[in-house]
């Protein structure tokens, strides 16, 4: 049987990692830059990021946080204030050592003006923000202090992949200080909930909320919480983290306040962040062998209209109809905003245009030619269906239902992703079954990027060493200890009692 | 006569430079950080920046530009591609030379992992974006290419001042490529117009559009256009620039395209930017001896309501009334958006709260106590009038006219700033008068920051050397050659004919 032609080569089954790259190329989302590990986010990818930012920023503000901006550079001495923290980031720091360039002996420009203290390009901002908090917080009346920053971050990565792991990435980082442990813990969980809501309601990516084990904790945190999503290769992707920092950073930065009884106390702090990595998560959750698939709520364009005409005679009539239709659609609303519509008037063949929008993942595509106009109808395709599954719909009906159609795509993507995760999640109670779950499919595939078992829900009564051993043998780790209530049981590795099952998976 | 008490010490007349700092402190706009020359933009300052960004971003998109994101780092070899460009920035570059930290012989962490090629933290992005353009542009069909980036920028400044000159600052930088010289020139002027409209309609800052002389051109540009504003100390502030880059950067980065006739040509490029410096311009245009004054369109809050009560008994009734009033006001619209209202429920004395909002520049302040409630009225103050100029207004009337009141403040600030500029702008036709204009007031004041004459409109037929001589003697330079039609005349310094008057002033 001949293979169906797809817009992306290779397909997911043929080579998942390469498919991922090709979806990004095909959708013009991003590309590698001449600077090692730093990406260029192209307009289509950046418009998506702006929509994500806007939605999440609204949620962050609605929970009482204010945005601010702190320096890009962290003095080396600041990073060293918290021992575990500097330990965690020392190996991946971009270090500024000079503040000018000067012609060397051979006339070539070389760094000059050495700094007394090296500056680190921020890998995260706990220490520099903590220093400001120490000045801003004097009394219990100054608490809680709820700050968020949208910024670029640099962590020197040796092996990089667009969006998933880049030397420079974009993110938001929340930093808060509280008078009590309870309030800080509540904040940590509140922002985890915000992330989970954003992932599920906006990105249509189902997530599991849980706590990280000791080995996967943020350097310097008392506890780290995560939302974990299953990608289509059944690996887990950590989509956002919220850290309860205890009083560790408050002590390191001396964030103290006068309490209601006149005593001095260290504040309790949190931090939480999501990054441009979310675009990778979105891509690997919904996209198919024809390219990117966008959830309606975040799509830079909801509807793209491609005018189809065979001659210059037909052109004005077709363009005129398309522009009027676009105006009608823009008067409709979806998700509390006007529907976003583009008429693609580029000088290119209609078929090429249509496929470019398939690869870019636009939720609804319309092809409009003279015959559609004669019938006052549109030739419509949904990106969540096969590219050739197109239907002729009366114009008025299409316009009136466009919001509902977009919502049906949004919900359909979420339902499909959730069903996929459930299909590939298994409760496992024996060590043999556990090893078979993660091993069998690795061997039987023999592909460049084998698809492994999925999520294993198993009890665990082991320690960091045992987790490391399992990681060495199978390449899987505890992704999180789910927050959801679970039944107690016995650990299949140690036989010890365990309060609940944890999620095991291979991870990005 | 005893001096009237002001909320800011010193006053503008006493010490303008220190007044500027104290307005920033008093409004919680920003502060110096422990990193030399880098500022922290505090929530009130950042909320203002977000409003500026949102409005300007809409205008940039409405003129056909798309946002994208390019690497923070520029390889040294890229910066060197354009000779004048690297010459212009070499002395103020933050240079990354290492990519990790390691314990040295004495156990202290030191930079390690030296890079083969140093990376410059972007002082501007022409070269790294030009490299991408060279890949993206193949044919005339790919032009014009209209890209904008919102980003942080680093230029190592020796003497820094909050917002006006900081080592790290935030900006947007537009970069475009065109098929013809004419289109690139038109784009350069279009964006200058966008900046002028933004400055005047949103910031209420009147500006003069003009071209820079050779000495003040962007390094590598064929011509640089600017908008110049007069501050209250009568100095000029360059508020935004738009550069016609000719084919200089297209040659340096090899941006070539296949034209309609099958020939290869270099593209014509432009770049244009405004920065967080605009906040300094806004401050020095409108603020007074009681602190910051915000134009309504950009104010993070339009109306702040301060509940006034003397006892816990009165509190619930007053708060209830204030919250309902806030809801009524939020249902009103101003500048195509809901009116932004805050009820200040902090546990502080009413008077302290009121003065904090004076210093923060909120356009409308309401004080509401039991007696106002009895009359169903509000006690209202406008920030463009004296702090104690408060009026009792019927609640219904205040609510119904709030949009009009905000617009009257917006327009009043602009009119006042324009009148001030006109008052301190003089046409000068003799060298003696020119020297007297800039010298007399410097000497007669004898203040820490003397207030100089203002803008001198004089003909100029000199060269770079003469401009430098006048700068050395008087501290003034040609701020711009205005675009507006002017009458020809004779240069008072050289006696040569000149096509139009230029604007001379001391500058930030």
When scoring B72, B103, B128, B337 by the number of chain A Cβ atoms within 10 A, the one with the most, hence best to mutate, is B72
Distance from CA of A123 to the nearest CA of B (A): 11
Query: Scanning every residue of chain A, which has its alpha carbon at the shortest distance from the alpha carbon of B127?
Result: A34
pLDDT at A448: 44
The segments of chain B whose pLDDT lies below 50 read 1-2, 443-445, 448-450
pLDDT at A449: 45
pLDDT at B107: 82
Higher pLDDT, A215 or A29: A29
SS3 for B167-231 is CEEEEEEEEEEECCHHHHHHHHHHHHHHHHHHHHHHCCCCCEEEECCHHHCCCCCCEEEEEEEEC
Over residues A471-487, the pLDDT tens digits come to 999 999 999 999 998 89
Distance from CA of B39 to the nearest CA of A (A): 6
Inspect the interface and report whether the beta carbons of B97 and A95 lie closer than 8 Å.
yes
Contact between B93 and A101 under an 8 Å Cβ cutoff? The reply is yes
pLDDT band at A451 (very low <50, low <70, confident <90, very high): low
Distance from CA of B450 to the nearest CA of A (A): 33
- Which residues in chain B are contacts of A94 at CB distance < 8 A? 73, 96, 98-99, 119
- Single out the residue of A2, A46, A4, A1 nearest to residue A24, CA to CA: A46
Contact between B224 and B215 under an 8 Å Cβ cutoff? The reply is no
Average pLDDT of the residues of chain A: 94
Element (DSSP H or E) covering residue A116: strand A109-121
Element (DSSP H or E) covering residue A358: helix A350-360
pLDDT at B106: 86
Q: By CB neighbour count within 10 A (0-12 exposed, 13-18 middle, 19+ buried), where does A66 fall?
A: middle
Using a pLDDT cut of 90, give the percent of chain A over it. 89
Query: Scanning every residue of chain B, which has its alpha carbon at the shortest distance from the alpha carbon of A113?
Result: B91
* Range list of β-strands (E), A329-446: 333-334, 337-338, 341-343, 364-368, 377-382, 390-394, 425-427
Contact between B274 and B384 under an 8 Å Cβ cutoff? The reply is no
- Residue A151 above 70 pLDDT? yes
Over residues A279-295, the pLDDT tens digits come to 999 999 999 999 999 99
Is the preceding peptide bond at A10 cis, omega within 30 degrees of 0? yes
pLDDT band at A1 (very low <50, low <70, confident <90, very high): very low
Element (DSSP H or E) covering residue B274: strand B268-275
Name the residue facing A34 among B38, B41, B131 (closest C-beta): B131
- Single out the residue of B232, B179, B228 nearest to residue B207, CA to CA: B228
What's the CA gap between B279 and B20, in Å, rounded? 12
Name the residue facing B99 among A76, A94, A128 (closest C-beta): A94
pLDDT at A440: 59
pLDDT at A485: 84
- Single out the residue of B281, B244, B278, B228 nearest to residue B55, CA to CA: B278
Query: Scanning every residue of chain B, which has its alpha carbon at the shortest distance from the alpha carbon of A42?
Result: B68
- Which residues in chain B are contacts of A71 at CB distance < 8 A? 33, 35, 38-40, 168
> Which token pair is A357?
């929008």
Name the residue facing B43 among A42, A50, A67 (closest C-beta): A67
pLDDT at A3: 59
Element (DSSP H or E) covering residue A500: none
- Residue A107 above 50 pLDDT? yes
Distance from CA of A493 to the nearest CA of B (A): 38
What predicted TM-score, i.e. pTM, was given to this entire model? Answer: 0.96
pLDDT at A208: 98
Name the residue facing B71 among A38, A49, A50 (closest C-beta): A38
What's the CA gap between A402 and A398, in Å, rounded? 6
Distance from CA of A93 to the nearest CA of B (A): 5
Query: Scanning every residue of chain A, which has its alpha carbon at the shortest distance from the alpha carbon of B45?
Result: A68
Inspect the interface and report whether the beta carbons of A71 and B118 lie closer than 8 Å.
no
Over residues B97-106, the pLDDT tens digits come to 999 999 988 8
Task: Tell me what the mean pLDDT of segment A119-127 comes to.
Answer: 96
Task: Tell me what the mean pLDDT of segment A91-96 comes to.
Answer: 96
Question: Of A213-217, A372-376, A495-499, which range is least confident?
Answer: A213-217
- Single out the residue of B422, B205, B380, B232 nearest to residue B294, CA to CA: B205
What residues have CB less than 8 Å from A343, skipping those under 6 apart?
A304, A305, A307, A319, A322, A323, A326
Distance from CA of B435 to the nearest CA of A (A): 37
């Amino acid at each position: 049987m001949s293979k169906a032609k797809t817009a992306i080569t290779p397909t997911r089954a043929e080579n998942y990692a390469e498919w991922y790259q090709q979806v990004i190329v095909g959708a013009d989302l991003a590309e590698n830059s001449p600077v090692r590990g730093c990406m260029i986010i192209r307009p289509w990818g950046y418009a998506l990021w702006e929509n994500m930012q806007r939605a999440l920023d609204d949620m962050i503000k609605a929970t009482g946080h204010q945005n601010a901006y702190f320096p890009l550079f962290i003095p080396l001495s600041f990073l060293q204030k918290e021992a575990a923290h500097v330990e965690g980031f020392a190996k991946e720091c971009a270090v500024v050592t000079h503040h000018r360039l000067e012609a060397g002996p051979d006339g070539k420009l070389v760094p000059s003006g050495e700094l007394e203290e090296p500056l680190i390009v921020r890998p995260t901002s706990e220490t520099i923000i903590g220093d400001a908090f120490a000045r801003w917080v004097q009394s219990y009346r100054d608490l809680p202090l709820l700050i968020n920053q949208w910024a670029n971050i640099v962590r020197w990565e040796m092996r990089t992949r667009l969006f998933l792991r880049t030397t420079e990435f974009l993110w938001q980082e929340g930093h808060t200080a509280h008078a009590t442990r309870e309030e800080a813990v509540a904040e940590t969980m509140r922002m985890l909930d915000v992330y989970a809501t954003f992932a599920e309601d906006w990105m249509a990516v189902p997530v599991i909320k849980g706590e990280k084990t000791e080995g996967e904790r943020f350097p310097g945190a008392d506890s780290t919480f995560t939302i974990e999503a299953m990608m289509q290769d059944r690996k887990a992707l950590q989509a956002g983290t919220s850290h309860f920092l205890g009083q560790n950073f408050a002590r390191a930065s001396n964030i103290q306040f006068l309490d209601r009884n006149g005593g001095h106390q260290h504040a309790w702090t949190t931090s939480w962040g999501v990054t441009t990595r979310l675009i990778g998560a979105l891509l690997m959750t919904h996209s198919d062998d024809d390219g990117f698939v966008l959830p309606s709520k975040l799509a830079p364009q909801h509807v793209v209209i491609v005018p189809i005409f065979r001659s210059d005679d037909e052109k004005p009539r077709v363009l005129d109809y398309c522009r009027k239709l676009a105006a009608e659609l823009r008067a409709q609303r979806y998700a509390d905003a006007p529907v976003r519509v583009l008429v693609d008037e580029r000088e290119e063949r209609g078929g090429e245009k249509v496929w470019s929008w398939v690869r870019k993942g636009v939720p609804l595509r319309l092809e409009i030619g003279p015959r559609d106009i004669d019938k006052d109808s549109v030739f419509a395709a949904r990106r969540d269906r096969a590219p050739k599954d197109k239907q002729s719909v009366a114009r008025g009906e299409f316009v009136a239902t466009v919001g509902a159609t977009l919502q049906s795509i949004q919900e359909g993507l979420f339902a499909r992703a959730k069903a996929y995760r459930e299909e590939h999640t298994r409760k496992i109670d024996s060590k043999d079954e556990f090893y078979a779950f993660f091993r069998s499919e690795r061997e039987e595939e023999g592909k460049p990027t084998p698809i492994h078992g999925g999520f294993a829900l198993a009890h665990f009564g082991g320690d960091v060493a045992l987790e490391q051993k399992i990681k060495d043998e199978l390449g899987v780790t505890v992704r999180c200890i789910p927050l959801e209530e679970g039944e107690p049981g016995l650990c299949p590795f140690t036989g010890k009692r365990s309060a609940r099952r944890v999620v095991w998976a291979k991870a990005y």
